[in-house]
Structure 1
Amino acid sequence: MPGLPFPETTETLRRRLKEPVVEQTVRATVAATLSYAVAVHLSSEPAPLTAPLTALLVVQVTLYSTLTTSIRRVNSVVVGVLIAVGFSSVVGLSWWSLALIILASLTIGRFVRVDEFVNEVAISAMLVLGVTRLASQAWDRVLETLIGAGVGLLFNFLFAPPVWVDTAGESIEDLARRARHLLVRIGEELGGHTPVAQAAARLHEARRLDQAIADVDGALRQAEDSLRLNPRITEGVVSRVMLRTGLDTLEICVVVIRVLARSLTDLAKRRDEGEELFPAEVAVALEELLGHLGGALVSFAVLVTTQVSRNAEEAEDRLAAELAAAWASRENVAQLLLRRVQEHPKAWQLHGSLLAEIDRILDELDLDHRSRRLMEELDRASVANRERFTRLGRLRGFFRGERLRPAALKRRPQAAGRSNA
């Protein structure tokens, strides 16, 4: 058809197919179907629907979440079956025994830490308690759960889920661009007579931007999970630390932008009727400063989300240039505001707070500050991994019968020598 934007439509469709929701839908459907086919041959039930139900629940968009969900799901079913078997040997099925088994299942489910599958403990117990062939039904339910969890795990191991780092990176860059857009709009409205309602509108926009951080954090947590236990990734810790520290920095900057919008709103409320928010010279300088500040935010987000070293160097150069221009503009604005305060000292606190908030953003985006933060987080991650491997080594030694630690062996001769003395 003439006029149909076919290339754009194709690109949009390709982008939609790569979304986590679509990926999850396809993978869960295939895994559930496979688990049902396996359960039909292994289970004595005519319709072993527990297996595909388990597969639907355990197959997640990341391998790590699939593994943890499988463990919780199997744990909840086994606990529910054991509760039902224990109750069936004492009482039959009645309204009061049903209430008692539900209460016991929900209580025990909290202690065995099955998280969102607490209700599954009670459901398994009720389904098993309500059948006549108790032992057979209990075994079939456990078997189907194991089949569903096993097929889901095997499916994600053989067809590893994609790494969602790019999706998280796009969310971080989108957050930075929205912050830049807000700063540019604030800068454009500083000249002339700025109504209080207009300044307050920018404050509400800054608050919405602050609330959007939760969505970006969710995308980042999904990306972090996709890096864990993924055979495609060799440097997952570095990627996780870079993205997480980058989002933390942007979160601080967004909070400071909200405070800056609050200061401008208070300044608009305190000025006299018809008075300009800033003189023309100060407004132009502030607009230039906020423009450089917004550009630095976007350059920082690109630097955080860039994986290739050459592109990272280019992003770092752009960020350094934007920061240098922003610091130069900041010094110019500081001199202009100082003269303004000397002539009209009644709003000197708000003028000073504007500079302090801008300084805070520039300090957070500083390259040296970024490098120090990365090194600290990488050292912390390295220490955590070392402690984890140390605990695993001690556990293996315990099962091998190595009850005495090496440090204790080193101290023993010294202690013996002191006792002989």
Structure 2
Amino acid sequence: MPFLAPWVALLTVYPTVYQSLLRGAQSTVASWAGVGLSFVIGSYLGVGLWTFALAIFVGLVASRIPWIRHEGVAIATTGIFILGDGFTEQQPVLLDRIIEVAVGAGVGLVVNLLLIPPLRDQQAARYVDDINLRMGKVLINMADELGSSWDTHEAEVWAEEIESMGTDLSRAWQSVRSAHKSRRVNLRLHLRGPIRGGEKDGNTDYDEILGRVDEGISHLRHLARTLREATYSEGEWDTRFREQWVEIVRDAGRAIADPDTEVESISDRLVGLSADLSDDEDLPQRSWPLYGSLITSMRLIALVVDDVASAREARESK
């Protein structure tokens, strides 16, 4: 039965070495169970339509075993393959079939090791950089619109874009989990040399980075919501506040979109803006809840700006 070993080899190869080891072991056990199932049914019940149905039924029931569930269907498929490939003409030798399954699993694993599946770090990094770029563009767009005037429609557009970032962030988390798996039992790690300081298991700590990006999206969502509610408020914004705050928002957007951009400290400028306005006795008191919320949101986003720049420097220094 020359097909059995290559069949199991195909079941064993996965995108990462870790998955190949884990799922390959499950495939091997499931295939061995399929060999045993076909041997018992074929030897004692013969080969017929109803025994095929019985093999499928028993194999699918057995595939629900928790620790082989992902590859459990191989019990049924392997059993059917062996029953249908000349079982009546040549009784299969149980030990031979077990060896064939082991050979196939071994070949699949060796091929996976020799090809050295790529590490997925760069894919995770691209997700992070793309989300940061979009956050920066939203802030720049806010600054451009608020520099003159804006309406509810613009605020809704910002909100939709921010929600889209949240969806992409979920994909980024999936990419990071895949990156973690790609590093397990991967020879490429040893070929890249020793682990450097500031890395987690030889890798930038994307869990922490994405956590900070998630916070940034949350603060940006709050900022957009505040601006949307502000469109329903009566009265004009204080001109001095608008001009200074808009410039700070624009520079923060530039810094997030491109961490290499040199801008004055966002936090220091926000502190200065708060101090200037607090000394302005002509500023209507009803404006402070809005202005205070906008300043606070930007201060929190400014912290993300610094973390984004630091995270990028850590990645590029590798």
**Shared topology, TM-score over 0.5?**
yes
Partner AA of 2:33 in structure 1: V
Between the aligned partners of 1:365 and 1:65, the Cα distance in structure 2 is 36
Q: Which has the higher helix share?
A: 1
Deviation at 1:60, TM superposition (A): 3.1
1:126 is aligned to 80
Unaligned runs of 5+ in 1: 1-43, 301-314, 375-421
Partner AA of 2:284 in structure 1: E
2:225 is aligned to 262
Question: In the alignment, is the contact (CA less than 8 A) between 2:26 and 2:72 conserved in 1?
Answer: no
Question: In the alignment, is the contact (CA less than 8 A) between 1:253 and 1:364 conserved in 2?
Answer: yes
Question: In the alignment, is the contact (CA less than 8 A) between 1:191 and 1:280 conserved in 2?
Answer: no
- Among 290, 300, 304, the residue aligned to 1:360: 300
2:205 is aligned to 242
Between the aligned partners of 2:52 and 2:290, the Cα distance in structure 1 is 66
1:281 aligns with 2:240: yes
Between the aligned partners of 1:85 and 1:349, the Cα distance in structure 2 is 78
Partner AA of 1:285 in structure 2: Q
**Cα distance change on mapping 1:86 and 1:250 into 2, 3 Å:** same
Between the aligned partners of 2:54 and 2:276, the Cα distance in structure 1 is 75
Between the aligned partners of 2:9 and 2:21, the Cα distance in structure 1 is 12
Partner AA of 1:262 in structure 2: R
Deviation at 1:72, TM superposition (A): 2.2
Between the aligned partners of 2:172 and 2:186, the Cα distance in structure 1 is 22
Between the aligned partners of 2:84 and 2:96, the Cα distance in structure 1 is 14
Q: Report the aligned-residue RMSD.
A: 3.5
Pairs within 5 Å for 1:377-392: none
1:312-365 deviation per Cα after TM superposition (whole angstroms, max 9, x unaligned) = xxx7xx7xx75x6110222244356766995151x6544443333333334456
Pairs within 5 Å for 1:389-404: none
Partner AA of 2:65 in structure 1: F
**Cα distance change on mapping 1:327 and 1:198 into 2, 3 Å:** same
1:271 is aligned to 233
1:77-119 deviation per Cα after TM superposition (whole angstroms, max 9, x unaligned) = 1222223334445545566655554343233223252343232
Q: Secondary structure of 2:203's match?
A: helix
1:223-280 deviation per Cα after TM superposition (whole angstroms, max 9, x unaligned) = 2223222234243744435232112211221222122222222222x224xx65x444
1:106 is aligned to 60
Between the aligned partners of 1:108 and 1:192, the Cα distance in structure 2 is 68
Question: In the alignment, is the contact (CA less than 8 A) between 2:252 and 2:305 conserved in 1?
Answer: no
Between the aligned partners of 1:92 and 1:76, the Cα distance in structure 2 is 22
Q: Secondary structure of 2:186's match?
A: coil
Between the aligned partners of 1:227 and 1:325, the Cα distance in structure 2 is 37
1:224 is aligned to 180
Between the aligned partners of 1:141 and 1:341, the Cα distance in structure 2 is 90
1:368-405 deviation per Cα after TM superposition (whole angstroms, max 9, x unaligned) = xx89xx9xxxxxxxxxxxxxxxxxxxxxxxxxxxxxxx
Between the aligned partners of 1:184 and 1:108, the Cα distance in structure 2 is 58
- Among 327, 331, 335, the residue aligned to 2:267: 327
Partner AA of 1:361 in structure 2: I
Deviation at 1:201, TM superposition (A): 0.5
Q: How many correspondences in the alignment?
A: 300
Deviation at 1:204, TM superposition (A): 0.1
Between the aligned partners of 1:121 and 1:355, the Cα distance in structure 2 is 62
Partner AA of 1:343 in structure 2: P
1:293 is aligned to 252
Partner AA of 1:160 in structure 2: I
Between the aligned partners of 1:177 and 1:137, the Cα distance in structure 2 is 62
Deviation at 1:196, TM superposition (A): 0.6
244-253 or 133-142: which moved more? Answer: 133-142
Bigger relative contact order, structure 1 or 2, given CA contacts below 8 A and separation 6+?
2
Between the aligned partners of 1:161 and 1:92, the Cα distance in structure 2 is 44
Between the aligned partners of 2:99 and 2:135, the Cα distance in structure 1 is 52
Between the aligned partners of 1:295 and 1:239, the Cα distance in structure 2 is 30
Unaligned runs of 5+ in 2: none
Question: In the alignment, is the contact (CA less than 8 A) between 2:266 and 2:299 conserved in 1?
Answer: no
TM-score by length of 2: 0.77
1:99-156 deviation per Cα after TM superposition (whole angstroms, max 9, x unaligned) = 5543432332232523432322222233334455275286666555433332222123
Partner AA of 1:213 in structure 2: L
1:202 is aligned to 158
Deviation at 1:192, TM superposition (A): 3.0
Percent of aligned pairs with the same amino acid: 23
- Among 34, 46, 52, the residue aligned to 1:80: 34
1:35 is aligned to none
Between the aligned partners of 1:161 and 1:56, the Cα distance in structure 2 is 16
